[in-house]
Amino acid sequence: MNTPGLYHILFISTALFFIGVYGFFTRRNLITILMSIELILNSVCLNFIAFNKYVWPEKLDGVFFTLFIIAIAAAEAALAIAIIINLYRSHNTIDVNAAEEMKY
């Protein structure tokens, strides 16, 4: 077996990114949308680590960036879930279609 190269990993991470984008636009459940965003962020982490390992092995910027992304994604998810819970209290659902108080 060959060991995976940079392009294999880039392929996976790009696929993951667009799966996340697809999920973000098609899903109607807020928690699933949040999960799609996490997919996007994780694909970015994969990208950074792959670039760091294969292209710039002498540098550390990518690894540090990944750590920061993980930390901030946690903060973002916490805030998003708080907002979703509040939305659930007022609308009794977490379907985005129900949030239609404001229209053009």
The contact set with other proteins (CB under 8 A) reads 17, 20, 24, 30, 33-34, 37, 40-41, 43-44, 47-48, 50-51, 55-56, 59, 61-62, 64-65, 68-69, 72, 75-76, 79-80, 82-84, 86-87, 90-91, 96, 99, 101-102, 104
In the bound state with other proteins, the residue whose beta carbon lies nearer, of 12 and 24, is: 24
Least distance to other proteins, CB of residue 12, Å? 13
Least distance to other proteins, CB of residue 51, Å? 4
Least distance to other proteins, CB of residue 60, Å? 11
The secondary structure of the chain, three-state, reads CCCCCHHHHHHHHHHHHHHHHHHHHHCCEHHHHHHHHHHHHHHHHHHHHHHHHHHCCCCCHHHHHHHHHHHHHHHHHHHHHHHHHHHHHHHCCCEHHHCCCCCC
Residue count (the chain): 104
